[in-house]
Amino acid sequence: MISGHGSNPTSVTPPQEIKAHEQGRLPEGSVKALPLVVDLDGTLVKTDLLIESLFVLIKQNSLYLFLLPFWFIKGRAYLKRQVSRRVTLDVSLLPYNCELVEYLRDQRSQGRRLILAAGADERIAHQVADHLQLFDMVLASDGTVNLSGKQKRNRLVEEFGEKGFDYAGDAGRDLPVWSSARRTILVNATESLSRRAARVAEIERVFKHQGKGARSYIQALRLHHWLKNVLVFVPLTLAYRLTELDLLANACLAFLAFGLCASSVYLINDLADLPADRRHPRKRERPFAAGELSLFWGLGSIPLLLGLSLLVSLQLPLPFTGMLVIYFLLNLGYSFTLKRIVLLDVIVLAGLYTMRIMAGSAAVSIWPSSWLLAFSTFLFLSLALVKRYAELVIMGSETEVSQVRGYRIVDKELLASMGSGSGYVAVLVLAMYISSGTAEIHYTRQHLIWLLCPLLLYWISYVWLHAHRGEMHDDPLVFTLRDRVSSVVMCLAAVVLALAR
């Protein structure tokens, strides 16, 4: 559990050195200054490395889910060792506590010894220490002893003596360590924890978390992406039965159920995609990737959101609940496996969009026509390809990566031709629907519906033009609902449908 240079435990500190600590500096040339011990998870880095490693492991091979309980039975240290042997984290991308790191650099420049004492496995702890080049010694879990709480305190007292070190930590598990430390450094601690820490040790310094507050939670739940769930209203709208309040209430419940389910999926996706998001010029600002939110909060919110979603769905016809379950499972497969399979990923994305329409139909018992399903499939395939194309444009211009999710930068033009072609086929399906005479069932002036074709042709070309310029949002449907020109096109389409009615 030990690397670096040895040390002589110090239990008594001269008064002049205590005064120097109070002033935030050390006496020049002092060799008796107490070492500063720093925790890793939640303190030095604003994340939990075990949870990150577990998601990376499951993403590599979901069969490891069946091994995790057996590893856990043998102890947390054993679990950490087995996971760390199979997972490699890019420690250069971790969300470090920059203010604390600068403080540690300053302390080191004054000659103070720095010790990294991590509950994480020693393999990961050494990688972090090698990256930062700050620490004289690394203590960490070794596969047998889980270096956390009382185990960490005993190890530090054995090495440096009672009150022979200062300790920087962030959580309740650090209280036993603070009780044996001379002074405490609090990092991202709650007010309650700060009061408890003050009872067992003198607080030297506090590093407060400068988060975004409620904005981080809203961003993690992607409430703005709930706009995509307006698709559940499409069957009711096209059937011109929005005035039937019972059906409208069902559609609203369907919207809520899909929103809650989608938010749980977004949390899973963000937790599973942390390494990839941190390499992305925009996604690295997401709350979990940036360390703004606790991974434990994310894990706890997933079953809560799913439970609420299912409760809402039980108020609707059973086929809707079945569609919701299929939607979740397909999203789960997409998050861990399908998104890395070239071309299949965009087909699945298009299917997930279309499923919202089908679920809306199930909620109000108005089944969509084959024309609507064909039209939506081609249109949403075009939007899914826009999403991938936009990622390649952004990553190709702002980073040095040669591929994204299996797509190579040189695939951009091919994706553009497939995506624009799919969009134009959707227009062709619309034209065939109008000319087939089927439109006469709902429209007395069906000839006016032909005006939808040039509107849709313009909008598809407009979207792809913006994607080509690198101006596309990560999600093209969200871009559509926020973009002024797209809003005008949708309003004109609504006017056309109203006049044709």
Question: Are residues 228 and 478 in contact, defined by beta-carbon separation less than 8 angstroms?
Answer: yes
- Kindly state whether residues 180 and 246 are assigned to the same domain: no
Spatial strand order of the sheet with 202-207 comes to 3-4, 137-141, 114-121, 36-38, 166-169, 183-187, 202-207
Alpha carbons 391 and 413: distance in angstroms, whole number: 13
Residue 388, helix vs strand vs coil: helix
- Kindly state whether residues 75 and 125 are assigned to the same domain: yes
Question: Are residues 390 and 281 in contact, defined by beta-carbon separation less than 8 angstroms?
Answer: no
Question: Are residues 167 and 185 in contact, defined by beta-carbon separation less than 8 angstroms?
Answer: yes
- Kindly state whether residues 432 and 497 are assigned to the same domain: yes
Question: Are residues 41 and 25 in contact, defined by beta-carbon separation less than 8 angstroms?
Answer: no
Nearest Cα neighbor of 82 from 105, 102, 53 is 53
State residue 442's pLDDT score.
Answer: 76
Tell me which residue range forms the domain holding 19: 3-207
Alpha carbons 310 and 258: distance in angstroms, whole number: 9
Alpha carbons 335 and 268: distance in angstroms, whole number: 7
The pTM (predicted TM-score) of the whole model is: 0.82
Residue 407, helix vs strand vs coil: strand
Question: Are residues 185 and 205 in contact, defined by beta-carbon separation less than 8 angstroms?
Answer: yes
pLDDT in tens, the chain (501 residues): 444 433 333 333 343 343 344 434 444 444 347 999 999 999 999 999 999 999 999 988 888 999 999 999 999 999 999 999 999 999 999 999 999 999 999 999 999 999 999 999 999 999 999 999 999 999 999 999 999 999 999 999 999 999 999 999 999 999 999 999 999 999 988 889 999 999 998 999 999 876 667 888 988 998 888 988 999 999 998 888 888 999 999 999 999 999 999 999 999 999 999 998 898 888 888 999 999 999 999 999 999 999 999 999 999 999 999 999 999 999 999 988 888 889 999 999 999 999 999 999 999 999 888 999 999 999 999 999 999 998 888 776 655 555 667 788 888 899 999 999 999 999 999 999 988 877 777 788 888 999 999 999 999 999 999 998 888 866 787 788 788 999 999 999 989 988 988
State residue 174's pLDDT score.
Answer: 94
Domain count, the chain: 3
Q: For residue 227, give the DSSP letter.
A: G
- Kindly state whether residues 232 and 190 are assigned to the same domain: no
CA 20 to chain centre: 43
Last residue of a domain, one of 335, 361, 387: 361
- Kindly state whether residues 145 and 203 are assigned to the same domain: yes
* Torsion 437-442-447-451 (CA) sign: negative
The packing angle between helices 412-435 and 370-398, to 10°, is 160
- Kindly state whether residues 326 and 221 are assigned to the same domain: yes
Last residue of a domain, one of 361, 381, 412: 361
- Kindly state whether residues 272 and 328 are assigned to the same domain: yes
- Kindly state whether residues 220 and 171 are assigned to the same domain: no
- Kindly state whether residues 233 and 202 are assigned to the same domain: no
User: Which CATH number fits the domain that encloses residue 352?
Assistant: 1.10.357.140
Last residue of a domain, one of 189, 207, 225: 207
- Kindly state whether residues 281 and 393 are assigned to the same domain: no
User: Which CATH number fits the domain that encloses residue 152?
Assistant: 3.40.50.1000
- Kindly state whether residues 375 and 340 are assigned to the same domain: no
- Kindly state whether residues 32 and 171 are assigned to the same domain: yes
